[in-house]
Structure formats: structure tokens, C-alpha cells
Structure 1
Amino acid sequence: MSHLQREIEEQPDVIARLLSEQSEQAQTIARAIREANPAYICIAARGTSDNAARYAQYLFGIKAKKVVALATPSIHTLYQTAPDLSRALVIGISQSGQSEDIRQVLTDAKAQGSLTISLTNKPESPLAQQADYHFDLMAGEEVSVAATKSYTAQLTAIAMIGAHLVGDADMHTALATLPAAARDTIAAAGDTAQWIERYRYTDRLAVIGRGYNYCTAFEISLKIKELCYISADGWSEADFRHGPIAIVQPGFPVFVVAPRGATSEHAIDLLALLAKRKAESLVITNDDIPEGLARRVLKIPASLPEWLTPITAVIPGQIAAMHLAAARDLPLDKPRGLSKVTNTQ
């Protein structure tokens, strides 16, 4: 078994461990945020962690009604300029905690008196040490270059902090169902190796999501790029209509992340447009999809509320990327030209 497969399968246990052992830290961080009462939130991240930041934009924006911006680390490093973050909560997200540019954002923010928080899988890392508060992702060593369990751990951490920040008992109840939902999602994807063979020679595809699952579209597309060396672009369902849909031709594969929720009606409408263009839609959903609109439906548990579906919806994409890479006879744990820790400045 590859490290990648093992780490995908470890995700339910990682989520369960976080919920069991890090609830108090999530509560402490939420209390600090309430006391600081920031005017807005700024999140610094790169790569997979940047997709976790996209999730935070929607979760904190919808549940906590906070304005959430993504940082521009190059301003802090290459241009040696520190924007005014004095009224912000600044969060740094990184699996390794090693990226100098992410740490510089927090350094500048802290010098201005901002509350700073880090989410890393390495509590001894420079980023973890730099922040006022650190949330340990407790994912264990992640050997595969393509991040999987650390990503869902980041999403879970954000969801936990958000639930404590809002103080909503229903959110905590829903969080408790996550480990089982992740296990069920992995089990439901057991036939992926067989059906993914159809796309072995694909050289481009699109991944579509919206709302809470905007991040999922970007993360699945990143996993396919990293593991399969395919030009896979992530799009918002809304943005995809503004031009990029022109690339769709008969047989073009499109992953559509379409769980039940506020985006459902728009996702179904897009699937109808894709069907007219004879695209092959691979739909990740817990909703009912009208007959004829999906080449294949990749099921996730129906029990989760929309705000938690990014944690399960990404898993069928991770598994599809892994099996597609295997079908193309590509290395699963060490894709060409990549390393586990990327230290950008």
C-alpha cells in the first residue's frame, strides 16, 4: 500500500483525534478572537493550505459574519512592505510551518498589535512559534508529497474554531458525526479504480464547486495536477459560465461538487448545460441528481449540513486522483519535481 492511500484512509481517525483532543484549544482560540473583536480576518497560506483558507472565507463569513481576506505574502517579502493589519485577526496555515513568506505576514501583523493564530502539523515549527495561539493539526507524519489528511485536518480545525466562535450547539452536534461520515465516504469510493480507467489518457479536465465547496474544486484540481500531471482547472460554478465553459466539448470530463444546500439549484442548472455539450460529469453529491445529467455520481453522506461537506466531498477527489495516477503508471508518493516541504520567500 502506498503512503498516499494509507494517509487517505487515516483521515477519519485524524478527524476523530482532533475533535477529542483539541476542542479545548479551539475554545481558547475562539475566546481570544471574541475578546480581540477584529474588524476583519486575514489568512496567509500557500498551496493546499490556501484552499483551506478559502473554506475559512466561507465558514467565518457565513457563520460568524466576518469579512475574510487572503493575504498577499509577496508584498511582505519581495516588496518588503507591511500593509496595515492592526485591526485584523491574522491566521497562518501551513502543514509544515516552514514557509518564510507566511511567517513574515504573521511577524508584521504581530508587530502591529494584531492577534495571530497558526494552524500547522508541526508545533515546533517557526510559524507555530511565531503566533500568539497555535492549533496543532495532530495528523501525524504525512509522508506522501500530495497532502490529504493534513488538508482535512485543517478544514476540521477551522470548523471547530468556527463552531466555538459562534457558540452554536447544533454545529458541535454536526461536528461529532464527521469521523463516521469520512469513513462512509471512503467506503463508498471502493470502485474508483475500475471506473477511473476510462480517463487514463485524459490530458485536461475541469473541477467545479461553489460556496463552501469552492475550496473543494481547487483542492481536487490541485491533487489531479500533482499526481496525474493533467491540466485540471478549478472553477466557481458562477465563474465557469463567464467564458471557461467554452472549453467543454463532447467527452470532456468535469468533476462537479454539488452537495445539497444553497448552491444546489445552480449546480443542477450547470449540469444541464454540460449535458447539452455532451460533457462527462462526475458529480460529488449527497443530493438527488436528475437522470441523464451525470456520467457517474460519487456519493457522500446525506447527513452532513452543507458547511461541513467540504471535509467529505474532497475525499472522492483524492481517491480518484490517486487511482488515475496509478492507471497512468505514475508515482503516488513522490510526484516528479515536488518535495513535501516547499519554503517560499
Structure 2
Amino acid sequence: MTTKMRSEIAEQPAALRATLDALLPRVGEVEQLAGQTRQLLFIARGTSDNAAVYGRYLAEAHTGRLSTLAAPSIATTYKRKLDLDGVLAVALSQSGRTEEIVETLAWAKDCGARTVAITNGGEQSPLAQAADLALCTLAGEEKAVPATKTYTTQLAALAVLGLGLGADVDAADLQRVPDAVEKLIAEPGDLDAIVEGLADKPGVVVSGRGLAFSTALELALKLKEACYLHAMGLSYADLLHGPIAVVDEDTPAILVAAGEGPTLAGTVALAERVTGAGASAFTVGGGTALSSVATAALNGPDLPEWVAPLGLIVPGQLLTEALARRLGIDPDAPRGLNKVTQTD
């Protein structure tokens, strides 16, 4: 039987097309609001926080704006007021109903920030209602607990945000994303080999850098949520500062990279170091440069680095779903999780 998670992975090309069709005409609205600001503050938790990491790297690498990930507890627990004049606060929530995120966005506005909401919850969701501008994704209802199409459409909304911030990129690249994702779903690469390579392992290190770091974090989260693996998501720079000691024959590495860009060479070198130490290096993306040094490889999208994360996660989603089934776990309803998580 096809799982809900697998069905929703397959719905991503259509969800991305609908979201981009709805949001690309609104670049001018983003530009007008962002013109009153100079830096960004991303407010999110969980999968949305991983999407925010992509937003941060995109903003800093391609718009020249300082960007920060918020600590919502400053607003909700410590209740400290900060000077956010000149800040564009961007809150992300799949449902638009996570009270902590709604409260933190309202706090940011009260502190002087201009505000943007990115949500699949619609214009009437509490988060959208709290924002100066709402960029609502059109992923449709997501029934599986692990987020798939709501995550990739969040990335699409962040890419549109980047265009509104004046990113030095080609907007036409976004139009190629749905087809690239469709191809990855049809041809993910060495999926079965990697599932078997992870099936008897207690843990895995997932690593990437720069714009691909968000994918590493999200894939690690998915493997924890749906497969109950001890999955550690790290920048490869942080991995080399000590945690690489945990990578061995019982703890493989999954290394993620776009097919181009300044972090690819370092990812290739890390894969060679991992296999040289006798551990398995499973890879996602990175073109032939990375796959040629891998133990087994998942394909990446034929996309420029700035939009590659919209495709890079897709083989990882397929891996998570297949590995969960291989382990006898229902990926649609992992233990201890709900679709909407409330935190204080």
C-alpha cells in the first residue's frame, strides 16, 4: 500500500507550480515592504526552522543582508523587548497556527519590525493575519506527519522573498524547479542500496554546507522523526571540528551538495575522508564529482546552487519513507508526533 508520505512526495511538482504561480507576481510587494528594512530575522521551529536556514543563506549570499534565526523564547518566555527597527521579521509555520510563532511575530512587530508570514495555512490563519504581508503556499492538505510538500513550498516562498530582496540571481531558475523535482521522484538514484546500508545502523551523520546546509538539517530531522535514527545534522565545517570522530563503519555519513558552487569541493574532500576511514559515504547531489567518490549516491537536481535545495531534499524524503517501511515503521504517523506542535 502506498503511504500518505509517498503520495505527498509525488504531489510536490504540482504544489510547487501552484505556489510559484501564486507568489512570483507578488515580488513587487516584497520589494516595497523590504525597502523599509536592512536586515532579516527568521522565526520558526522544526522543519520550518530548517527552511529558515535556507532563507538565511540565500539572503546573506545573494542579497547582502545580515540575517539571523530568532530565539522565540526571548519573546515568549523571557518577554524581553528588543529594538527591531529596520528589521524584516519572517515567520514560517506550516499550519499558521503554532501559537509560539504567531506570538513571536506579533512581538517582533511590537518591537518595530516589518513582518512577513510564510504559511500553508491560508490567508485567514492566525500567522497570516498577524503579518504585514502573507506569502501563502499552495501545497494543499498534508496528511502525513512528516512534512514534505509543505517544506519544499516554504523554500519556494523563501526564494520569492529573495527575489523581492533584490537577490543577484536569475528568476527564471525558479520555473525549472517543478520539472527537476519530477525527474528526481522518477529517478532518485541508488535508493535501495542506501536503504540497505542504513537498515542495521543505529545512527548517521548528515552534512552539507552553505545553501545545502538546510537540506542536511531537514534530512537529519526526517530520519529522526520517521526512522528513529540517531541522525546528526551538521555543517561539514562543524563536522570537521571534532564530531567526525563518530563516523565509522557503524555510523555512516550522508553528504549533501548542489551540483555547483563554492562548497562542492569541500564536500567531495569530506566524502573521500569518510571512505578513507572505512566508513560509508552516501551522497545526495553534487553531480559526478561527488557521486564518483560515494559508496552509493542519490541524484541531485539540475539546478543552480541558489535553488538546488528545493530539489535536494526530495531524494532524502524518498529515502526516509523507504527506510521507515524497511524498518517496519509507519512513516505517516511516527510515535510521539502530531501535525501541529505547540510550544510555550
**TM-score normalized with structure 2 length:** 0.95
CA shift for structure 1 position 98: 1.5
Q: 2:144 maps to which residue?
A: 144
- How far residue 286 of structure 1 moved from its aligned partner, in angstroms, is 4.0
Q: Give the secondary structure class of the aligned counterpart of 2:116.
A: strand
CA contact (8 A) 1:275 1:292 kept: no
Equivalent pair of 2:274/2:281 in contact (CA under 8 Å): yes
Whole-angstrom CA distance in 1 between matches of 2:24 and 2:291? 42
Distance in 2 (alpha carbons) for counterparts of 1:17 and 1:241 = 40
Q: Give the corresponding residue for 1:217.
A: 216
Q: How does 1:108-147 map to 2 (within 5 A)?
A: 108-123=107-122, 124-147=124-147
Partner residue, 2:173: 174
User: Which residue of 2 is the match for residue 27 of structure 1?
Assistant: 28
Once structures 1 and 2 are overlaid, which stretch shifts more, 96-105 or 152-161? 96-105
- Distance change (3 Å), C-alpha of 1:178 and 1:15: same
Whether 2:300 is the aligned partner of 1:296: answer: no
Written as runs of structure 1 = structure 2, the 5 A alignment for 1:1-345 is: 1-34=2-35, 36=36, 38-123=37-122, 124-166=124-166, 171-189=170-188, 192-193=191-192, 195-259=194-258, 260-289=260-289, 293-302=293-302, 304-345=303-344
d(CA) in 2 for partners of 1:280, 1:160: 37
Which amino acid in structure 1 is aligned with residue 68 of structure 2? A
The Cα of 1:27 is off from its aligned counterpart by 2.9
- In structure 1, C-alpha distance between the alignment counterparts of 2:17 and 2:292, rounded to whole Å: 37
Determine the C-alpha separation between the residues in 1 that align with 2:321 and 2:39.
37
Deviation at 1:25, TM superposition (A): 2.5
Aligned structure 1 segments of 4 or more residues deviating by more than 3 angstroms? none
Within 2, Cα distance between the matches of 1:290 and 1:256?
A: 9
AA matched with 2:126: P
Offset of residue 109 of structure 1: 1.9
Equivalenced residue count is 341
1:290 Cα deviation (Å)? Answer: 6.5
Question: Over aligned residues, Cα RMSD in angstroms?
Answer: 1.6
Q: Check whether the contact 1:184–1:300 (CA below 8 A) recurs between aligned residues.
A: no
Structure 2 stretches lacking a partner, 5+ long: none
Q: Which of 288-297 and 267-276 deviates more? A: 288-297
Shift of residue 86 of structure 1?
A: 2.2
Q: Distance in 1 between matches of 2:296 and 2:191?
A: 11
Q: Report deviation, 1:340.
A: 0.2
**Residue 87 of structure 1, CA deviation:** 2.2
Q: Which amino acid aligns with 1:293?
A: V
Which runs of 5 or more residues in structure 1 are unaligned?
none
How far off its partner does 1:194 sit? 5.7
Seq. identity, %: 37
Q: Aligned AA for 1:210?
A: R
Q: Normalising by structure 1, what TM-score?
A: 0.95
CA spacing shift, 1:128–1:245, aligned 2, 3 Å: same
Asked if the contact 1:27–1:165 (Cα under 8 Å) also holds between the matched residues in 2, the reply is: no
Q: Describe the superposition over 1:21-68 as per-residue Cα deviations: whole angstroms up to 9, x where unpaired.
A: 22222331222212x1x1311111000000011001110111110000
In the alignment, residue 296 of structure 2 is paired with which amino acid?
R
3-state DSSP class of the match of 2:96? coil
Distance 1:125 1:243 in 2: 43
Distance 1:4 1:31 in 2: 38
For the 8 Å contact 2:5–2:146, the answer to whether it is kept is yes
Counterpart amino acid of residue 29 in structure 2:
T
2:201–2:250 contact (8 Å) kept in structure 1? no
Conserved 8 A contact 2:256-2:284 = yes
